[in-house]
Chain A
Amino acid sequence: MVRPKLLAIALLAAAAIPAVGAAAADAPACHLGRYASLPMTIDEAGLVTVPIKIGGEEENLLVDTGGVFSMLTSATAARLNLKPVSLDFGAAMYGWGGRRMNHYVEAEQIEIAGATIKRRQFMVMPDDFLPLDDDGILAPDILSVFEVDFDFAKSQMGLFSKDHCEGKVVYWTHDDYAAIPFDLDSNRHMKITITLDGKEVHAILDTGASDSVMSLETARSMFGFKPSAIAETGRYPFKSLTIQGVTVNNPVIDLVPDDKSKMLGNYGEPDMILGMGILRQLHLFISFKEHTVYVTPASAH
């Protein structure tokens, strides 16, 4: 997850919408048009990557719904001969831990879901921000052009057309599902309200976080435990986390001081990041059109 600060709005304008595939264009009114299925990998740390072609080269981009702008590592930018350009007016973005990023590159062409997007800009991020095999991140600036389907069990990320009938997206099962509404903030982060041990907590869905983390200060304020309760592990033994009826028992949540995360707990920021440790147990269909995420257990088929 990365937060913007003083970022020129014009820098990375809305993603160009790719040409609609023939299947979607000719589809009947309630057809769910799939642009593409991208082979998805979960690395041993639990993070998701998909292959995207940039300048004709295939790069592994980490899928980060908690990001803001798509990025390339400085090593990837150098390998692709993309020249970093400073943001204007001293603008910068700050990542987890307050890491500063203030350069971007422009790729002549990227290919995603079979569509070509010309002149795409990416922020440049430090190499060590990502696992060793990753070349950058794919963030909501591009993802939100589509409806995005995470079929973790089958290792496929589906990109669908937004031209579908409301609520008619759960194609993978006839079993029960949850429809969880979310607010999309100005950074295109999906903000939801969850219930943690009976108390309401504001969270964002973040596939770019390997684990779920919560503001230590907020957690202590809400649940009133002593520092000794989490001294060894940095975790508190929460009993249940519920999202609109979807319950995760004994959720693993790291508690991080606000001065370390520099992005939790303050006004306007989430109390918690719901990361892959929990999300990968689910099948998620994110409808950016409806501001709703449709959920079943990952194994439901």
Chain B
Amino acid sequence: MRARLLAAALTLAAGCAFASGYDDFSAGVTANARGEADRAIASFTSALASGDLASGYLPSARLGRARAYLAKGDCTRALADLDEAVKLRPNSVSGRVMRAAAYSCLKNADAATADFNAALNLRPTARVYENYGRFQWNQGLFAEAAANYAQTSQMSAGSDPHLPYKVLWYAMSAERAGTLDQAKLNDLVSNIDQSGWPRPILDYYRNRLTESRVYEKAADSDATIANQQKCEADFYVGEWHLARKEPDAGMKLIHAAFGECPHNFMEYYAADRELKRQP
């Protein structure tokens, strides 16, 4: 064995023609991380067809290709891969949660619900409750969503920087269901150790801040952040109006949120969902 190194022999060229199933698998993971769905699908397909990919990676290759298919909106192919992934690794929570997303995309709410419940049976974690709550909110099951957001908020207390948003989604869902419990909301808010954004919106749902003050607080930052905070204020205040049966005021703000929120914000997707929900 020759000692030490030879640079030429060890050069790892990104994007080169790969020789093994593992290299294709690795390239697929990289492509998904870069948001390159077509490349990810091609790489995972080669890895799965290679015949030499270690069996331990087969479920992940299916999950990876399914994620790429979901990114392209090809939910049928995603579901086929996810069925296989869950078959190969029945205890995979990520497989169940991702398959629930595929079922949801295919308008099969019952099957999605079954997968979320299976995921909770496997690992009742804050993130699964949060995902389940988002799915239920999308379905218009606001009381159920509120229960899951309350659960994820309680489980995340004291550790999660996204806790204010989880509590906010509890408040928003419960308000929409007509079941908002102010004492419970105050209890959840007491676990939040930050006073900055989006606290003003939470205080609005707690009837402690007026709408105009929320927008003043939203504008109190540099231009980029202020625009992002305004988009969030538009969405959550719009939802509050919808809950109060004020559709004109509510939908005007939801339209504004959809137009101004960055496309990687959850409020953008939620505004899109709300617009599609309206008759």
**Do A and B come together as binding partners?**
yes
Q: Determine the distance from Cα of A224 to Cα of B251 in the docked complex, in whole angstroms.
A: 46
Q: Determine the distance from Cα of A155 to Cα of B20 in the docked complex, in whole angstroms.
A: 13
Residues of A within 8 A of B29 (CB): 42, 44-46, 277, 280
Interface residues of B in 119-159 (CB under 8 A from A): 119, 123-128, 155-156, 159
Q: Determine the distance from Cα of A125 to Cα of B5 in the docked complex, in whole angstroms.
A: 40
Given contacts A42-B60, A132-B123, A133-B123, 20 further A-B contacts (CB under 8 A): A41-B57, A43-B63, A44-B61, A74-B159, A75-B126, A127-B126, A128-B125, A132-B127, A170-B1, A174-B1, A176-B6, A177-B4, A245-B4, A248-B12, A249-B13, A249-B14, A252-B14, A277-B30, A281-B23, A281-B26
> Which of the 9-residue segments A18-26, A28-36, A291-299 touches chain B?
A291-299
The 8 closest A-B pairs by CB, nearest first: A155-B54, A178-B5, A245-B5, A155-B56, A44-B64, A126-B159, A153-B22, A44-B63
What is the interface residue range for chain B against chain A? 35 or more
CB of B207 closer than 8 Å to a CB of A: no
B30 to chain A, nearest CB (A): 6
Residues of B within 8 A of A244 (CB): 5
Residues of B within 8 A of A177 (CB): 1, 4-5, 10
Complex partner residue of A250 from B3, B14, B125, CB under 8 angstroms: B14
Interface residues of A in 197-251 (CB under 8 A from B): 210-211, 242, 244-251
CB of B39 closer than 8 Å to a CB of A: no
Interface contacts (Cβ under 8 Å), in number, total 155
A41 (CB) vs chain B CBs: closest residue = B56
Q: Determine the distance from Cα of A58 to Cα of B64 in the docked complex, in whole angstroms.
A: 24
Residue interface mask B1-37, A partner, CB < 8 A = 1: 1111111011111110001101101100110111000
B239 to chain A, nearest CB (A): 24
Interface residues of B in 30-58 (CB under 8 A from A): 30, 32-34, 54-57
Residues of A within 8 A of B3 (CB): 167, 179
Residues of B within 8 A of A295 (CB): 10
CB of B216 closer than 8 Å to a CB of A: no
Residues of A within 8 A of B4 (CB): 176-179, 245
Q: Determine the distance from Cα of A90 to Cα of B236 in the docked complex, in whole angstroms.
A: 37
CB of A73 closer than 8 Å to a CB of B: yes
CB of B171 closer than 8 Å to a CB of A: no
Q: Determine the distance from Cα of A40 to Cα of B57 in the docked complex, in whole angstroms.
A: 9
Residues of B within 8 A of A39 (CB): 56
Q: Determine the distance from Cα of A210 to Cα of B30 in the docked complex, in whole angstroms.
A: 10
Report whether B26 and A99 are in contact in the complex, using a CB–CB cutoff of 8 Å: no
Report whether B7 and A247 are in contact in the complex, using a CB–CB cutoff of 8 Å: yes
Q: Determine the distance from Cα of A139 to Cα of B230 in the docked complex, in whole angstroms.
A: 42
Q: Determine the distance from Cα of A73 to Cα of B30 in the docked complex, in whole angstroms.
A: 27
14 A–B contact pairs at CB < 8 A?
A: A41-B57, A42-B60, A44-B63, A44-B67, A74-B159, A132-B93, A132-B125, A153-B22, A173-B1, A175-B2, A245-B4, A246-B11, A281-B23, A299-B23
B100 to chain A, nearest CB (A): 12
CB of B113 closer than 8 Å to a CB of A: no
Report whether A247 and B12 are in contact in the complex, using a CB–CB cutoff of 8 Å: yes
Given A126-B159, A176-B6, A246–B26 Cβ distance below 8 Å? no
A73 (CB) vs chain B CBs: closest residue = B125
A171 (CB) vs chain B CBs: closest residue = B1
A291 to chain B, nearest CB (A): 16
